[in-house]
Amino acid sequence: MVSVTVTQSIAFLIFVAPLCIYVAWNDLRAMKIPTWSTDALAIVFVVVGVFVMPFSEYAWRYSHFFVVLIIAMVLNAIGAMGAGDSKFLASAAPFVHLDDVGFIFILLGAGIFAGLLIHRIAKAIPAVRNLVPDWESWDQGKRFPLGFPMGAVLIIYLAFPLLLLI
Protein backbone atom coordinates (compact mmCIF):
# COMPACT_ATOMS: atom_id res chain seq x y z
CA MET A 1 0.00 0.00 0.00
CA VAL A 2 2.88 2.42 0.69
CA SER A 3 6.19 2.69 -1.09
CA VAL A 4 8.30 2.54 2.08
CA THR A 5 10.25 -0.72 2.38
CA VAL A 6 10.54 -2.65 5.63
CA THR A 7 14.25 -1.76 5.78
CA GLN A 8 13.52 1.94 5.31
CA SER A 9 10.75 1.73 7.88
CA ILE A 10 12.98 0.26 10.57
CA ALA A 11 15.99 2.45 9.79
CA PHE A 12 14.01 5.69 9.73
CA LEU A 13 11.73 4.94 12.68
CA ILE A 14 14.63 4.34 15.06
CA PHE A 15 15.50 8.04 14.75
CA VAL A 16 12.26 9.63 13.54
CA ALA A 17 9.86 8.25 16.16
CA PRO A 18 11.63 9.82 19.18
CA LEU A 19 11.86 13.16 17.34
CA CYS A 20 8.17 13.06 16.39
CA ILE A 21 7.16 12.20 19.95
CA TYR A 22 9.25 15.11 21.22
CA VAL A 23 7.72 17.47 18.63
CA ALA A 24 4.20 16.39 19.58
CA TRP A 25 4.88 16.74 23.31
CA ASN A 26 6.61 20.11 23.01
CA ASP A 27 3.92 21.52 20.75
CA LEU A 28 1.24 20.43 23.22
CA ARG A 29 3.26 21.80 26.14
CA ALA A 30 4.56 25.08 24.72
CA MET A 31 2.84 25.56 21.33
CA LYS A 32 6.31 25.55 19.74
CA ILE A 33 8.26 23.17 17.53
CA PRO A 34 11.95 23.93 18.13
CA THR A 35 14.09 24.47 15.06
CA TRP A 36 16.69 21.97 16.30
CA SER A 37 14.05 19.20 16.15
CA THR A 38 13.08 19.94 12.54
CA ASP A 39 16.76 20.25 11.63
CA ALA A 40 17.40 16.88 13.27
CA LEU A 41 14.53 15.34 11.30
CA ALA A 42 16.05 16.61 8.06
CA ILE A 43 19.49 15.32 9.09
CA VAL A 44 18.03 11.85 9.74
CA PHE A 45 16.85 11.74 6.14
CA VAL A 46 20.19 12.98 4.83
CA VAL A 47 22.27 10.48 6.84
CA VAL A 48 20.03 7.40 6.92
CA GLY A 49 18.34 7.82 3.55
CA VAL A 50 21.55 7.49 1.58
CA PHE A 51 22.02 3.98 3.05
CA VAL A 52 18.47 2.64 2.61
CA MET A 53 17.32 4.12 -0.71
CA PRO A 54 18.49 3.89 -4.31
CA PHE A 55 20.58 7.01 -4.90
CA SER A 56 18.40 8.42 -7.70
CA GLU A 57 15.31 8.19 -5.51
CA TYR A 58 17.20 9.57 -2.52
CA ALA A 59 18.41 12.58 -4.52
CA TRP A 60 14.96 13.22 -6.02
CA ARG A 61 13.36 13.38 -2.55
CA TYR A 62 15.20 16.64 -1.81
CA SER A 63 12.80 18.33 -4.23
CA HIS A 64 9.98 17.30 -1.87
CA PHE A 65 11.59 19.40 0.84
CA PHE A 66 11.72 22.53 -1.30
CA VAL A 67 8.21 22.18 -2.76
CA VAL A 68 6.64 21.61 0.66
CA LEU A 69 8.75 24.38 2.21
CA ILE A 70 7.41 26.92 -0.30
CA ILE A 71 3.79 25.79 0.19
CA ALA A 72 4.20 25.74 3.97
CA MET A 73 5.76 29.22 3.98
CA VAL A 74 2.73 30.55 2.11
CA LEU A 75 0.41 28.83 4.59
CA ASN A 76 2.43 30.35 7.43
CA ALA A 77 2.31 33.80 5.83
CA ILE A 78 -1.50 33.71 5.62
CA GLY A 79 -1.75 32.49 9.21
CA ALA A 80 -2.94 28.97 8.45
CA MET A 81 -0.11 27.38 10.45
CA GLY A 82 2.84 28.28 12.60
CA ALA A 83 6.45 28.52 11.49
CA GLY A 84 7.38 25.36 13.42
CA ASP A 85 4.58 23.45 11.69
CA SER A 86 5.89 24.67 8.33
CA LYS A 87 9.44 23.60 9.12
CA PHE A 88 8.23 20.21 10.35
CA LEU A 89 6.23 19.55 7.17
CA ALA A 90 9.19 20.50 4.98
CA SER A 91 11.60 18.33 6.98
CA ALA A 92 9.18 15.40 6.89
CA ALA A 93 8.48 15.68 3.15
CA PRO A 94 11.57 13.77 1.91
CA PHE A 95 10.46 10.69 3.87
CA VAL A 96 7.29 10.48 1.74
CA HIS A 97 7.38 8.74 -1.64
CA LEU A 98 5.66 10.75 -4.39
CA ASP A 99 3.27 7.84 -5.05
CA ASP A 100 2.09 8.06 -1.43
CA VAL A 101 1.14 11.75 -1.39
CA GLY A 102 -2.59 11.00 -1.69
CA PHE A 103 -2.36 8.54 1.19
CA ILE A 104 -0.46 11.11 3.26
CA PHE A 105 -3.18 13.70 2.66
CA ILE A 106 -5.78 11.20 3.88
CA LEU A 107 -3.62 10.37 6.92
CA LEU A 108 -3.05 14.08 7.64
CA GLY A 109 -6.75 14.89 7.37
CA ALA A 110 -7.72 12.00 9.64
CA GLY A 111 -4.79 12.71 11.97
CA ILE A 112 -5.62 16.38 12.37
CA PHE A 113 -9.28 15.58 12.99
CA ALA A 114 -8.42 12.83 15.51
CA GLY A 115 -5.75 14.97 17.17
CA LEU A 116 -8.13 17.90 17.55
CA LEU A 117 -10.83 15.63 18.94
CA ILE A 118 -8.44 13.94 21.40
CA HIS A 119 -7.01 17.29 22.49
CA ARG A 120 -10.44 18.86 23.05
CA ILE A 121 -11.76 15.83 24.95
CA ALA A 122 -8.63 15.62 27.11
CA LYS A 123 -8.86 19.35 27.78
CA ALA A 124 -12.44 18.91 29.02
CA ILE A 125 -11.53 16.16 31.52
CA PRO A 126 -10.21 17.74 34.73
CA ALA A 127 -8.25 14.64 35.77
CA VAL A 128 -6.36 14.66 32.46
CA ARG A 129 -5.89 18.41 32.38
CA ASN A 130 -4.57 18.41 35.95
CA LEU A 131 -1.82 15.94 34.96
CA VAL A 132 -0.21 18.67 32.84
CA PRO A 133 -1.85 21.91 34.00
CA ASP A 134 0.84 24.17 32.52
CA TRP A 135 0.37 23.09 28.91
CA GLU A 136 -0.09 26.20 26.81
CA SER A 137 -2.25 24.34 24.31
CA TRP A 138 -5.08 24.06 26.85
CA ASP A 139 -5.76 27.80 26.69
CA GLN A 140 -5.23 28.66 23.03
CA GLY A 141 -8.85 28.98 21.94
CA LYS A 142 -9.07 27.99 18.28
CA ARG A 143 -5.30 27.55 17.88
CA PHE A 144 -4.21 23.92 17.86
CA PRO A 145 -0.77 22.26 18.20
CA LEU A 146 -0.38 20.68 14.75
CA GLY A 147 2.90 19.06 15.78
CA PHE A 148 0.82 16.53 17.73
CA PRO A 149 -1.00 14.98 14.73
CA MET A 150 1.78 15.65 12.21
CA GLY A 151 4.29 13.73 14.31
CA ALA A 152 1.84 10.87 14.72
CA VAL A 153 1.13 10.78 10.98
CA LEU A 154 4.83 10.56 10.07
CA ILE A 155 5.30 7.70 12.54
CA ILE A 156 2.23 5.85 11.22
CA TYR A 157 3.29 6.34 7.60
CA LEU A 158 6.81 5.05 8.23
CA ALA A 159 5.50 2.18 10.39
CA PHE A 160 2.93 1.08 7.83
CA PRO A 161 5.11 -1.63 6.22
CA LEU A 162 5.71 -3.10 9.70
CA LEU A 163 2.00 -3.02 10.50
CA LEU A 164 1.33 -5.03 7.36
CA LEU A 165 3.67 -7.76 8.64
CA ILE A 166 1.48 -8.37 11.68
Q: How far apart are CA 52 and CA 8, in angstroms?
A: 6
Q: How far apart are CA 150 and CA 104, in angstroms?
A: 10
User: Considering only CA atoms, which of 105, 122, 140 is closest in space to residue 27?
Assistant: 140
Tens digits of pLDDT across the chain (166 residues): 799 999 999 999 999 999 999 999 999 999 999 999 999 999 999 999 999 999 999 999 999 999 999 999 999 999 999 999 999 999 999 999 999 999 999 999 999 999 999 999 999 999 999 999 999 999 998 899 999 999 999 999 999 999 988 8
Position 142 scores a pLDDT of: 87
Write the burial class of residue 146 (CB in 10 Å: 0-12 exposed, 13-18 middle, 19+ buried): buried
> Hey, what amino acid is at 153?
V
Position 165 scores a pLDDT of: 87
Domain coordinates in residue numbering, the chain: 6-165
Q: How far apart are CA 26 and CA 136, in angstroms?
A: 10
User: Considering only CA atoms, which of 27, 139, 129 is closest in space to residue 88?
Assistant: 27
Give the predicted TM-score (pTM) of the model.
0.96
Position 78 scores a pLDDT of: 96
DSSP for residue 148: H
